[in-house]
Chains A and B, each alone.
Chain A
Amino acid sequence: DAGVTQSPTHLIKTRGQQVTLRCSPKSGHDTVSWYQQALGQGPQFIFQYYEEEERQRGNFPDRFSGHQFPNYSSELNVNALLLGDSALYLCASSLVQDGNTGELFFGEGSRLTVL
């Protein structure tokens, strides 16, 4: 049973560029959340997708957008990259029926470096 998989694992971009990160949830899960983890910090919630719609959003600007596909996989897009966007981006999956019991299954993340 595959867990949460993310791609790419590492990438380097320059300021102003755009990036797309991808996530496949754990088998059977229908909800995908994205978190940003800056170096030395805890993860910060970006947004959550369920039924192909953004359901919850943290304090991130509109440069951060996402998408969820019918197979529950998800993409995170970041436009006009800033140096401060350099971080580990973590995807987590869960079942909506579990509510806020919140046992999220995390992927190993995509490490983005912005130069």
Chain B
Amino acid sequence: AQKVTQAQTEISVVEKEDVTLDCVYETRDTTYYLFWYKQPPSGELVFLIRRNSFDEQNEISGRYSWNFQKSTSSFNFTITASQVVDSAVYFCALIPRTGRRALTFGSGTRLQVQP
């Protein structure tokens, strides 16, 4: 079984601040994929990034960056110079590389970016 924990329920920042969203996971699978999704008020889950368990290279994409550390089972997500449009609920999720094709989501972190 898998478990994803997002300990931060809600974060509020002022525009242009950097913000990091934390994600810790548990799985017995040796290979798996990790994801971050964004859910704006419309409800649709928007895919942000996928990372596989054997690729610990961290990545920067524009204002977004990800820090994957397999040793601590963490997959944190940072937004640099936050904007009001970044306000949403962010979900971390995990799926095993083989087996049941179902994402296990964390409970989400609500990010409020104030102007």
Contacts and interface: CB of A to CB of B under 8 A. Distances in A.
B94 to A, nearest CB: 9
A43 B43 CA distance: 11
B103 A108 contact: no
A109 B101 contact: no
Given A48-B102, A102-B95, A41 B44 contact: no
Nearest to A9: B43
A100 interface: yes
Range of interface residues on A (Cβ < 8 Å): 20 to 34
A33 B102 contact: yes
Nearest to B4: A42
Interface in A44-97: 44-45, 48, 55-56, 58, 88, 90, 92, 94
Contacts of A99: 97-98, 101
Interface of B: 4, 33, 35, 37, 42-47, 50, 91, 93, 95-108
